[in-house]
């Protein structure tokens, strides 16, 4: 029966049977006034209990909402007394771009006082990136600058062959320098690529950088990590397998600099002309920094709080196969 009838009908039958039963029972005897009083008492008691449960529910909802707004001050919030972290993120169009930016934006939403400068390697700002940024609710600046063809990597080139993001990072620097007054005075600059993985802690490590702070980066340089070597609280060299004699043998994700320093040395930047692996050194030398200026973070550079993860390039080879077989592959109107 229960399987055949929809639940609602089943319920109706039960209610109807119950009411009929009540009517039959009722017809057998007249209520005494004592019985009526007792019933009244019972009803009163139940209505009290219902009221109690309702109040309980209200209190719980209120508690939950307060909790939410407490969390809200941690998420995506702005505390005027706290230095602002300016993130410069170059990005280029690829199949994995939306996934990478989405993931990164969700990390940043958990960090207070963020200003995200995103620079597309493109002739025009894309709708997709514009929309994504708008949706984050973060403070952001959206720029674009196209890398000239001669500096572009062919898709088969190993990813270290030509520097990436040079013009985009420079555009971000230029924005900071031209908006001297709109950025907060107290600030720190970090070059944060869109495919890395960031612990929330790394942002708090860098937030109070005096000049330049440094820390290890995981999964980089064909090693488990690269890191500054620290002796007696001072950076004295670099743990890396590749060109350890570079002035600053550190990955882009391994340092942050005080905003005032960036404004003080307006020529410091990146270049498509420098030797491979020297972008970081070029920028940091441009800020007139030396090893003794570096502030070791992440527990004296003994903890990895950022990873050079890189997103695997997705194969789309079945798209062509479907096209060949059915003359039709995936719907191009569905954004990925
Ligand atoms: C953006 O920055 C302004 C100050 O420049 C601040 O008042 C506002 O709360 C910030 N918004 C977010 C979402 O961080």
Q: Are residues 50 and 104 in the same domain?
A: no
Q: Supply the residue whose CA is at minimum distance from atom 8 of ligand 1.
A: 78
**Distance of alpha carbon 83 from alpha carbon 112, whole angstroms:** 10
pLDDT 10s digits, 40-66: 888 888 888 878 878 877 776 566 565
Q: Are residues 166 and 258 in the same domain?
A: yes
pLDDT 10s digits, 105-149: 999 999 999 999 999 999 999 999 999 999 999 999 999 999 998
The confidence score (pLDDT) of residue 102 equals 98
**Residue 78 alpha carbon to ligand 1 centre in Å:** 5
The confidence score (pLDDT) of residue 28 equals 59
The confidence score (pLDDT) of residue 45 equals 86
pLDDT 10s digits, 176-214: 999 866 656 799 999 999 999 999 999 999 999 999 999
**Residue 137 alpha carbon to ligand 1 centre in Å:** 10
The confidence score (pLDDT) of residue 2 equals 45
Q: Supply the residue whose CA is at minimum distance from atom 2 of ligand 1.
A: 139
Q: Which of 192, 225, 241 is nearest to 298 (CA)?
A: 225
**Distance of alpha carbon 28 from alpha carbon 25, whole angstroms:** 5
Cα-to-chain-centroid distance, residue 99: 11
Q: Are residues 51 and 188 in the same domain?
A: no
Residue 334 inside a domain? The answer is: no
Q: Which CATH number fits the domain that encloses residue 213? A: 3.90.550.10
Q: Are residues 280 and 164 in the same domain?
A: yes
Per the annotation, does 195 bind a ligand? yes
Q: Does the pLDDT of residue 14 top 80, yes or no?
A: no
Give me the number of domains the chain comprises. 2
Is the pLDDT higher at 245 or at 184? 245
Q: Supply the residue whose CA is at minimum distance from atom 9 of ligand 1.
A: 78
Residue 19 inside a domain? The answer is: no
Q: Are residues 197 and 263 in the same domain?
A: yes
Q: How confident is the model at residue 6 (pLDDT cuts 50, 70, 90)?
A: low
**Distance of alpha carbon 289 from alpha carbon 261, whole angstroms:** 10
Domain boundary residue among 74, 100, 123? Answer: 74
Residue 24 inside a domain? The answer is: no
Q: Does the pLDDT of residue 67 top 60, yes or no?
A: no
The answer to whether the CB of 139 is under 6 A from ligand 1 is yes
Note down the domain range covering 284: 82-307
Please compute the mean of the pLDDT values over residues 229-254 and round it to a whole number: 97
Residue 142 inside a domain? The answer is: yes
Helices (H) and strands (E) in the chain, counts: 10, 12
The confidence score (pLDDT) of residue 30 equals 62
Q: Which residues are catalytic?
A: 280
Task: For ligand 1, pick from 78, 85, 138, 141 the residue to mutate: most ligand atoms within 8 Å of CB.
Answer: 78
**Distance of alpha carbon 151 from alpha carbon 283, whole angstroms:** 19
**Distance of alpha carbon 281 from alpha carbon 277, whole angstroms:** 8
Q: Are residues 140 and 66 in the same domain?
A: no
The confidence score (pLDDT) of residue 149 equals 83
The confidence score (pLDDT) of residue 69 equals 55
Residue 239 inside a domain? The answer is: yes
Length reported for the chain: 336
**Residue 121 alpha carbon to ligand 1 centre in Å:** 26
Determine the longest span between alpha carbons in the chain, in angstroms: 104
**Where do we find the tokens 């400068």?**
117
Q: How confident is the model at residue 39 (pLDDT cuts 50, 70, 90)?
A: confident
Q: Are residues 168 and 251 in the same domain?
A: yes
Q: How confident is the model at residue 5 (pLDDT cuts 50, 70, 90)?
A: very low
**Distance of alpha carbon 125 from alpha carbon 97, whole angstroms:** 14
Residue 247 inside a domain? The answer is: yes
Q: Are residues 52 and 139 in the same domain?
A: no
| Tokens, residue 218 | 């995981």
The confidence score (pLDDT) of residue 109 equals 97
Q: Are residues 54 and 155 in the same domain?
A: no
The answer to whether the CB of 182 is under 6 A from ligand 1 is no
pLDDT 10s digits, 310-335: 999 999 999 999 999 999 999 999 99
Q: Are residues 70 and 86 in the same domain?
A: no
Q: Are residues 208 and 298 in the same domain?
A: yes
Residue 5 inside a domain? The answer is: no
The answer to whether the CB of 109 is under 6 A from ligand 1 is no
Residue 26 inside a domain? The answer is: no
The confidence score (pLDDT) of residue 124 equals 98
Q: How far apart are the first and last CA of the chain?
A: 48
The confidence score (pLDDT) of residue 17 equals 64
Residue-averaged pLDDT of the chain: 88
Q: Are residues 57 and 102 in the same domain?
A: no
**Distance of alpha carbon 283 from alpha carbon 262, whole angstroms:** 10
């Amino acid at each position: 029966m229960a399987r055949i009838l929809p639940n609602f009908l089943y319920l109706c039958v039960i209610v109807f049977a119950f009411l009929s039963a009540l009517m039959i029972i009722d017809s057998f005897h007249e209520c005494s006034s004592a019985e009526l009083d007792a019933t009244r008492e019972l009803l009163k008691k139940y209505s009290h209990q219902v009221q109690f449960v309702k109040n309980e529910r209200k209190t719980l909802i209120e508690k939950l909402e307060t909790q939410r707004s407490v969390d809200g001050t941690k998420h995506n919030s702005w505390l005027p007394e706290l230095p602002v972290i300016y993130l410069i993120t170059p990005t280029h169009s690829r199949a994995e771009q939306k996934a990478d930016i989405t993931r990164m934006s969700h990390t940043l939403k958990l960090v207070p006082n963020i200003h995200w400068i995103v620079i597309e390697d493109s002739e025009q700002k894309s709708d997709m990136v514009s929309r994504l940024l708008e949706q984050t609710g973060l403070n952001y600046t959206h720029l674009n600058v196209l890398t000239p063809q001669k500096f572009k990597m062919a898709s088969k080139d190993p990813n270290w062959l030509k520097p990436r993001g040079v013009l985009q990072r420079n555009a971000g620097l230029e924005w900071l320098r031209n908006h001297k007054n709109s950025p907060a005075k107290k600030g720190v600059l970090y070059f944060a690529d869109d495919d890395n993985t960031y612990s929330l802690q790394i942002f708090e490590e860098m937030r109070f950088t005096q000049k330049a702070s440094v820390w290890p980066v995981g999964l980089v340089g064909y090693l488990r990590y690269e890191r500054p070597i620290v002796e007696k609280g001072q950076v004295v060299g670099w743990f890396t397998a590749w060109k350890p004699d570079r002035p600053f043998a550190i990955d882009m994700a391994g340092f942050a600099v005080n905003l005032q320093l960036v404004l003080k040395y307006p020529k410091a930047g990146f270049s498509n002309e420098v030797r491979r692996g020297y972008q970081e050194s070029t920028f940091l030398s441009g800020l007139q920094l030396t090893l003794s200026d570096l502030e070791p973070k992440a527990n004296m550079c003994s903890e990895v709080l950022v990873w050079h993860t890189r997103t695997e390039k997705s194969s789309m080879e079945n798209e062509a196969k479907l096209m060949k077989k059915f003359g039709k592959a995936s719907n191009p109107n569905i954004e990925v």
